[in-house]
Amino acid sequence: MNRHIRAALQAGVPFGLFMGVFQYSQHRSMAAFVVGLSGGALFGPAMAWYQARSEKRLQRLGLSATDMSPVQSRSIVLPRGVDDAMQEARRALESVRKLKGESIEITTGRITAKTGMTWQSIGESITVEVSPSEGGSLVRISSQPRLTTTVMDGGKGRENVEIFAKVLAQEARGETAT
């Protein structure tokens, strides 16, 4: 199934059903139920359009937009020890848009942080784990919406992970992050 049709159905069907039941509970009429369902029929395509625009925004930033799921993760091997990789991961994490600096918590082999609200989402929880591996250190980042019922985030989770990976690769090569 086309990803935009899937996005329209994921957003429109639950919204339409909710609005239909809500309208019916308020007015006790099937016409009100149909009006609520119609809202879903309009909302779904609007959200599919929003998702398509978000894909284009990520592509303009030079980021991959192949998987627009709100929950994202990625693993990167750095040719460094765990301590150096943790420092580089910390610096790369600061490049994430809307990251709340005061939310960053560092424990042994793990960094957690939260982002603030954007027009795309109410914020994300980001976890970076660093562990030893054969090639040096394995750095795994994951980003998920703070609101667990989020089905679409306009690519914000993807953006978080891709920006982190891009900056971490630049750090590893000794380049200045942009």
Confidence at residue 83, expressed as pLDDT on a 0 to 100 scale: 92
Contacts of 60 (CB under 8 A, 6+ apart): none
Confidence at residue 88, expressed as pLDDT on a 0 to 100 scale: 93
The closest alpha carbon to 119, from 149, 142, 102, 98, belongs to 98
Between CA 63 and CA 56 the distance in angstroms is 10
Instruction: Indicate whether this model's pTM tops 0.85.
Output: no
User: Length of the chain in residues, anyone?
Assistant: 178
Confidence at residue 43, expressed as pLDDT on a 0 to 100 scale: 92
Q: Which helix (H) or strand (E) holds 59?
A: helix 30-60
Confidence at residue 126, expressed as pLDDT on a 0 to 100 scale: 96
Confidence at residue 87, expressed as pLDDT on a 0 to 100 scale: 93
Contacts of 30 (CB under 8 A, 6+ apart): 24
CATH class of 72-173: alpha beta
- DSSP assignment of 80-110 equals S-HHHHHHHHHHHHTTSTTB-GGG-EEETTE
Which sequence spans correspond to the domains of the chain? Answer: 3-60, 72-173
Q: Is 99 exposed, middle or buried (0-12, 13-18, 19+ CB in 10 A)?
A: buried
Confidence at residue 176, expressed as pLDDT on a 0 to 100 scale: 57
Measure Cα distances from 156 to 3, 49, 55, 82, 84 in Å.
17, 16, 10, 28, 27
Work out the angle between the directed axes of helices 156-173 and 30-60 (0-180°, nearest 10): 10
**Could you report the average pLDDT of every consecutive run of 10 residues in the chain (178 residues)?**
80 88 87 87 91 92 89 93 93 91 90 90 94 93 93 91 93 67
User: Reduced to 3 states, what is the DSSP secondary structure of residue 115?
Assistant: strand
